[in-house]
Each structure stands twice: as C-alpha cells, then as structure tokens.
Amino acid sequence: MASKKMVSKNQIFRALGLKSRLKGANCGGEWFADSKDYITSVNPTTGEVLARIEQASAKDYDKVMKEARKAFLEFRNMPAPLRGEIVRQVGEALREKKDMLGALVSLEMGKIYTEGLGEVQEMIDICDFAVGLSRTLSGPTLQSERPKHRMMEQWHPLGVVGVISAFNFPVAVWAWNTALAWVCGDSSLWKPSSKTPLCAIACQNIVNEVFKANGLPQGVSCVTIGRGATIGEKLVGDHNIPLVSATGSTRMGQRIGAVVGGRLGRTILELGGNNAIIISEKADLKGALASAFFGAVGTAGQRCTSTRRLIIQEKVFDTFVRKLIANYKRVVIGNPLDPKTLMGPLIDEGAVADYENAIKAAKEQGGKVLYGGKVLKPFGAATFVQPTIIEIENKAQIVQDETFAPILYVMKYKKIAQAFKLHNDVPQGLSSAIYTDSVNEGEAFISYLGSDCGIANINIGTSGAEIGGAFGGEKETGGGRESGSDSWKLYMRRQTNTINWGGEVHLAQGVEFKS
Ligand code: UN1
C-alpha cells in the first residue's frame, strides 16, 4: 500500500516548523494560547492524531486584535507597490515550500497530492496577481458639472480583514483574501477551520519569516485557531473588523451575514453550491466525460464547486452514464499521498454519516443508485466511501441540498429550455457549465436567460476555477466575490473627491445661495 515516493509526516513537520504540541494564536512573534482547551489535528486517512493544539481563548483574541489594529495603522503608510513587493516574497517562499505544503494539505485534509500541490499553486498565483495589482489599484477621474472642478475616486486601506476559511481549501482561500488585503494596506486575522489547524500554522510560519526579514510590524498577518462559539463569534461581532470574508455552509453564512450586517459591516460570503453540468446531445461527449468525472470525484466531492448534478439530454443519457460508470469503477481509493490514488478519504466520520444519510434519503425519494453507495475501510478509519451516481429527479429534496461528498445526481431532459429550468431550480448559485457544440445553446446558457450562477462555463467543468476571475455565487451561495478581477475593491474604502481649482464656489444642481 505505501509507495516509496510518499513523503512522511516527520519530513512535512520538519520542513514547515510543526510539532506534536502547538498553540493556536499568533500575530507575528511566538505562538501563544492560554485557554487550556485543546483540539487535535487528525489524519483523515488513518485516524492518527497528528498534533494537539491549545486553542486561542477570548483573551488571546483580544491580544491578537490589538496587534492587528496597531499593525494596520502602521502598514497603511507603506506605499502599495512596496506592500506588493512583500507579497511577491511570500509567493517566492510558497514556491520554495510548495512540495511540503502541498503534502501537508494532503495529510491533514485528505485531498490527493496533485490537488494539494494545485492548491498551493493557487496561493502562488494569487500572490503574483496581487503583486501586479499593487501598482494598478486605481479609481477613475470623473467629469464635474461645475467649472474648473475635477472629481475622482480614491481607494484607501480598510482596516483589519477577518478571514474564516473551511477545511476543504485549507490554504488557498486564505491566500485569496490575504494577498489582496495586504496589497490593499489591510492587516488580516484568520480563523481557519478547526479540522485543518496545521495548514494554518504552517502558512503563518512561512509568512512570519518573510515579514520579519522585511522588518514589518507584528500583526499584519494574524491567526486565531479556536472555537466558533468563542473566537468565531467574537470575530464576526467585532467592530474593529470592517470586512469578514467567510467560506462555509449556508447556515454558517446566514449567521455571519446577520451579525456582521447587524453592525453594518461588510461581508464576502462563499457558501454552498449545487453545481450542475448540462450535457447536450450536441456535445463532445469525451470532454464532457472528463469534466464531469473530475468535477464529481475530484477532492472526493468536497469542493464548493464540485459537480453535484448532471442534466443530460435523453438521447445521450444511457451512453454517457455507462461511460461514466466505467470511469468510476477504475477510481483508486486510498492514501491521498500515494501517487496511484485518485480519491482520498472524506474529512471525518461526520462527513461519512452525511454521505450515508443522503443516499438513504435519495432512495426514499425515488432515486436509483447506479453506482457506489458504500462505505469502505481500506485502513481501518471509516472515512472512505465509494463515489456514487444516483438517478433521481431534480425536485427531490435531497437534490436541493448540498451534501459535501462524492454523490452525483443524474437526470434527463428533452429540450434545452427544460434543462435550463432544471439547472436553476435549486436554492444555490455558485458554479455551472454546459457541454455543447451549439453556439446558440452555449450563448443562451451564459446569457441572462441561462445560468443564474456566479460562474457559468461552456465546454469546461464546474470546478477548478482560475484565480484571475471573480469567485463567488448568487442566491444561497451568499453573493460575495473574492480572488481575481476587481474583487480587491471590497478590501478597500472608496472615497469620492471633488476638487475646485478655479477659486469660485459653484453649487451643484445650479442651486443659488447668496445673502
Ligand atoms: C472551494 O471549494 O471553496 O474553483 C474553493 C475551484 C477552486 C476553489 C474552490 N479553485 O474548484
């Protein structure tokens, strides 16, 4: 089972400054925590405890926040291109540690090594993107209606940005947010998932070295690993945090949205997806097969962008599903660090329970399991499952919910208008795709009449988006956008300036006001 090429836990720990006993709060110097409340990082492949971490207490949070605030006030004085230079160095440090950080993601989260490396590559890519951005953060000059006046927009640093990340992308999503926040002149406070604390500690260790070498103030990059009920609640309710960017379940997002909205703060919410690919009879079925396979089985179905539904034209349904099942049968399930493995474990036994409950519900709601459906135990830990295909109607309640597991629902359509309707008929709106060689079908899908998602693709799958685009969705997905395009604007404060260079005072809208 163990291949010679597999990197060991000790190698990973040594390279990334990890130990078996750690503390959960950091703002640049030593790690600290005094909660006497511990969590364990568990290898989902074996159930082995990787490390024990003392969580940050409410007091630790306050200490971190004080540093983050102080650091912001200093950091904002640094010109943006120089902040970009720091982020460039972070990108370089990540390049150096890519192999080991990718392996840690695999070890602690369970995605296969190539995907762990891909996740670190996303971090490197967003650093590169942010470096360019640091010289182009800009606002327009606008025409004033008043003589000898000019209007313009400036973008100023915002403050301390709070980042709440999920276990499934334990490093990349943090980097999407912080690389932008830092070039924008903000400091950041990260609350990672309690299921992947080591990934957070390793990232912070890498950043700390770069920041220290550059003499940056402590607190530009902060981490608090702690309970949702203490640290999470404190962070979302904290008036010192003008922007909370959170990834997770719709339920979690509803709570965060309500609390941050209640204090009129800003949120970026990247919540549940229910992503579908429409497969037309006019499609290149080979391409559709590859995309559906990666979308549904990749990361063991634990991406927000995972393909959860296939809406297939009835004439090609049987052939397509037969070929897909043939692919599923060849999936090697096992240790994610083994290069032969295509699908690793689910994150924990709770996720396996969700998988089993969803399959049971699907059967009760008229679904037919075409492949899979079983829990596997290749290593003793009950975290492995078969990737599963279920034929079922879109309106079944279970299809309307996001189950974070490799379960793919397949359904038929006759006419393309019906496919579009089925496609949008779910509460979520993150990612979507159509496979078709018809220009009309493709254009219609990405038009206002088509997909209602934040991401809509033609002849490419639902998952694996590049960092250069704005990432996020509509409806219950939360509505925020992070990563590329102009998402940076959310990390800054917009200011409209009107400048009178003529001396005479003119009131707008022609108002006269003289005594
Ligand atoms: C997520 O699952 O929260 O588009 C992020 C993708 C990745 C990011 C997914 N680039 O699949």
Compute, in angstroms, the gap from residue 9 CA to the centroid of ligand 1.
26
The pLDDT tens digits of the residues spanning 481-493 come to: 999 999 999 999 9
With a cut of 70, say whether residue 265 has pLDDT above it: yes
Question: SS3 of 13, please?
Answer: helix
Nearest by Cα to 426 from 475, 363, 391: 475
Same fold, 22-145+157-271+478-494 and 275-471: no
- What pLDDT score does 166 carry? 98
- The token duo for 504 is 């005479």
The pLDDT tens digits of the residues spanning 166-183 come to: 999 999 999 999 999 999
Please indicate whether residue 313, judged by its CB atom, sits closer than 6 Å to ligand 1: no
Q: What Å distances lie between residue 331 and 3, 387, 422, CA to CA?
A: 17, 8, 29
- The token duo for 502 is 């003529």
Among 305, 306, 457, 466, name the best residue to mutate to test ligand 1's pocket (greatest count of ligand atoms within 8 A of Cβ). Answer: 305
Residue range 43-53: average pLDDT?
Answer: 97
Dist. CA 172–CA 120, nearest whole Å = 6
Which protein residue has the closest C-alpha to ligand 1 atom 3?
A: 304
Q: What Å distances lie between residue 256 and 262, 267, 477, CA to CA?
A: 10, 8, 13
Which CATH entry fits the domain spanning 275-471: 3.90.1300.10, 3.40.190.10, 3.40.309.10, 3.40.50.300? 3.40.309.10
- What pLDDT score does 378 carry? 83
Q: CA angle 245-250-254, nearest 5°?
A: 70
The pLDDT tens digits of the residues spanning 419-477 come to: 999 999 999 999 999 999 999 999 999 999 999 999 999 999 999 999 999 999 999 99
The question of whether 203 is a catalytic residue gets the answer no
Dist. CA 467–CA 463, nearest whole Å = 12
Q: What Å distances lie between residue 451 and 114, 123, 276, 426, CA to CA?
A: 30, 29, 10, 11
Cβ 298 vs Cβ 306: under 8 Å: yes
With a cut of 70, say whether residue 4 has pLDDT above it: no
Dist. CA 50–CA 196, nearest whole Å = 11
With a cut of 90, say whether residue 332 has pLDDT above it: yes
With a cut of 90, say whether residue 65 has pLDDT above it: yes
Which residues in 387-410 are b (16+ Cβ under 10 Å) and which e?
bbbbbbebebebbebbbbbbbbbb
- What pLDDT score does 5 carry? 72
- What pLDDT score does 467 carry? 97
Could you say which of 199, 222, 304, 453 is catalytic? 304
- What pLDDT score does 259 carry? 98
Compute, in angstroms, the gap from residue 21 CA to the centroid of ligand 1.
30
- What pLDDT score does 1 carry? 45
- What pLDDT score does 380 carry? 76
The dotted CATH code for 22-145+157-271+478-494 is: 3.40.605.10
Establish how many alpha carbons lie within 13 A of residue 71's alpha carbon, considering only the half-sphere containing its beta carbon: 26
Please indicate whether residue 165, judged by its CB atom, sits closer than 6 Å to ligand 1: no
Q: Computed from CA positions of residues 190, 305, 328, 359, in that sequence, does the dihedral angle turn out positive or negative? A: positive
Q: Which atom of ligand 1 is closest in space to residue 431's alpha carbon?
A: 4
Cβ 426 vs Cβ 394: under 8 Å: yes
Compute, in angstroms, the gap from residue 507 CA to the centroid of ligand 1.
50
Q: Which atom of ligand 1 is closest in space to residue 471's alpha carbon?
A: 4
Which protein residue has the closest C-alpha to ligand 1 atom 1?
A: 304
Mean pLDDT over each residue of the chain, to the nearest integer: 97
Residue range 100-117: average pLDDT?
Answer: 98
With a cut of 80, say whether residue 55 has pLDDT above it: yes
Dist. CA 53–CA 389, nearest whole Å = 38
Domains of the chain by residue range:
22-145+157-271+478-494, 275-471
pTM: 0.97
Dist. CA 194–CA 167, nearest whole Å = 8
With a cut of 70, say whether residue 402 has pLDDT above it: yes
Dist. CA 458–CA 467, nearest whole Å = 18
Please indicate whether residue 465, judged by its CB atom, sits closer than 6 Å to ligand 1: yes
Please indicate whether residue 303, judged by its CB atom, sits closer than 6 Å to ligand 1: yes
Compute, in angstroms, the gap from residue 91 CA to the centroid of ligand 1.
19
- The token duo for 241 is 């945090």
Compute, in angstroms, the gap from residue 446 CA to the centroid of ligand 1.
20
> E-strand spans in 356-430?
368-371, 375-376, 384-385, 388-391, 407-413, 428-429
- Measured in whole angstroms, the distance separating CA 499 from the mean position of its chain's CA atoms is 41
β-strand partners of 274? none
Residues 6 or more apart whose CB falls under 8 angstroms from that of 305 comprise: 273, 275, 295, 430, 431, 455, 462, 463, 464, 465
Q: Which atom of ligand 1 is closest in space to residue 303's alpha carbon?
A: 2
Please indicate whether residue 168, judged by its CB atom, sits closer than 6 Å to ligand 1: yes
Compute, in angstroms, the gap from residue 105 CA to the centroid of ligand 1.
14
- The token duo for 89 is 């160095």
Residues 6 or more apart whose CB falls under 8 angstroms from that of 333 comprise: 341, 342, 343, 344, 376, 378, 384, 386
Residue range 354-381: average pLDDT?
Answer: 95
Q: What Å distances lie between residue 97 and 28, 142, 467, CA to CA?
A: 19, 45, 20
Compute, in angstroms, the gap from residue 229 CA to the centroid of ligand 1.
26
Q: CA angle 456-118-213, nearest 5°?
A: 120
The question of whether 474 is a catalytic residue gets the answer no
With a cut of 60, say whether residue 3 has pLDDT above it: no
Please indicate whether residue 248, judged by its CB atom, sits closer than 6 Å to ligand 1: no
Could you say which of 122, 270, 402, 482 is catalytic? 270
Compute, in angstroms, the gap from residue 166 CA to the centroid of ligand 1.
11
- What pLDDT score does 381 carry? 81
Among 165, 177, 304, name the best residue to mutate to test ligand 1's pocket (greatest count of ligand atoms within 8 A of Cβ). Answer: 304
β-strand partners of 277? 310, 433
Which protein residue has the closest C-alpha to ligand 1 atom 7?
A: 464
Please indicate whether residue 169, judged by its CB atom, sits closer than 6 Å to ligand 1: yes
